[in-house]
Amino acid sequence: MKITVIGTGYVGLVTGACFSEMGNNVYCIDIDNEKVECLKKGIIPIYEPGLEELVIKNQSKGDLFFTTNLKKGLNNSNICFIAVGTPMGEDGSANLQHVLDVAKDIGQLIDHDMIVVNKSTVPVGTADKVKATILKELERRNLKLNIEVVSNPEFLKEGSAVEDFMRPDRVVIGSENENVIETLKELYAPFTSNHERFITMDVRSAEMTKYAANTMLATRISFMNEIANICEKIGADINNVRKGIGSDKRIGYNFLYAGCGYGGSCFPKDVKALIKIADNHGYDANILKEVEALNNQQKLSLVRKVVDKFGENLSGLTFGIWGLSFKPETDDMREAPSVVTVNKLCQLGAKVRVYDPQAMEVAKKYYFKDNKQVKYAENKYDALDKIHALLLLTEWKEFRSPDFDEMSKRMLNKIIFDGRNQYNKEILKEIGFEYHQIGNGTQGS
């Protein structure tokens, strides 16, 4: 099939690359000429395993094109995906300006019937606004075309987005037009051939599904962090509690890990957006408000443990940080607990040595650019030189089985504050480490 994908951010780039991998002819459009030129050279602006290889391979095959020329893409397509950003507004709502600007451009340039697919995460009712915007522009041009606007929310996880697209849990299509549904079913057939994962519903339900999925996962995380905080007070161990409840098939183990809070571009934004959507319709989303409040509090959980140990004045102390990205296998630091943690430690007077396998350049450029108290280590062990304690914030694989002897030689104090509960407390105790976990109230530290 012939496809245009508007927006070469995280979602758009993965979508375009994966569709082209199955032999579709894909035009990826972006207004950033510098970004487009880099993509043509195979230079990817984000870290996502497997993505660079797909982009380079499918450009060389002639199935994937990058351009700033939207008209060229539309002229060569019968399906157009909108995958531009919907940044959070000051009031917490999703800002639809980019989506509606794209809809206006489509209406001004298109000259044949088109299926327009909303891939961006948008509030319920956005498809109606997109269609109205396109039709308004067509009316100005005295053109009557058949435009079908569909909701097709993405469920990609950063760090495994290519795998998620290639082998999806489900493909949700919001449309009541049978011809459109059949066309998209054919497009997605290579990704859903093993068993039926293609789910159709009305447009508004599809738009709501994305928000419901992300806020449900955020709720599980905040719930477990709540239980972890109670465990610390009563002398229980959240790791044992997780095993006890996760074995219940009604609950399961996924997203039951306590830690220092969730981050990224999706969960925080979507929780806020759904709270605002509910508020706009006269409903008070109390559970979601508590999910958000607890997560904001949880991001400072390791700082509170540090203060309990060293006091509120951290001047003269240096702390190592392992992990800056909000999760492993990405360089994304948006809303990451590391940003809050590092800034608070510095505010209390500490110096910080940070290390992350992928997010170092992002940290230097965007998050700690002018912070003279932050130093950047070449590797995980260099981050430990003469530090008073280590804080682990992201569960990268290379942090799972470190050389504790090497750590002992470099650290001034053998103290670890673990925000992801990676290590065995009893083993660390035997080799002389003081170990602080999230949600472990048993036998002190």
Catalytic residues: 266
Please list, in sequence order, all residues whose beta carbon lies within 8 angstroms of the beta carbon of residue 109, skipping any fewer than 6 positions away. 70, 71, 74
| Two structure tokens written together for 118 | 């909303």
Distance CA 441, CA 181 (A): 53
Query: Are the beta carbons of 34 and 43 closer than 8 angstroms?
Result: no
Full 3-state SS string of the chain: CEEEEECCCHHHHHHHHHHHHCCCEEEEECCCHHHHHHHHCCCCCCCCCCHHHHHHHHHHHCCEEEECCHHHHHHCCCEEEECCCCCECCCCCECCHHHHHHHHHHHHHCCCCEEEEECCCCCCCHHHHHHHHHHHHHHHCCCCCCEEEEECCCCCCCCCHHHHHHCCCCEEEECCCHHHHHHHHHHHHHHCCCCCCEEEECHHHHHHHHHHHHHHHHHHHHHHHHHHHHHHHHCCEHHHHHHHHHCCCCCCCCCCCCCCCCCCCCHHHHHHHHHHHHHHCCCCCHHHHHHHHHHHHHCCHHHHHHHHHHCCCCCCCEEEEECCCCCCCCCCCCCCHHHHHHHHHHHCCCEEEEECCCCHHHHHHHHCCCCCCEEECCCCCHHHCCCCEEEECCCCHHHCCCCHHHHHHHCCCCEEEECCCCCCHHHHHHCCCEEEECCECCCCC
> Which tokens hold the place of 104?
């206006």
The CB-side HSE value for 249 (13 A sphere, CA atoms) comes to 0
Q: Token digits for 424?
A: 């065995």
Q: What is the CA 315 to chain-centroid distance, rounded?
A: 34
The CA angle 84-43-78, to the nearest 5 degrees, is 40
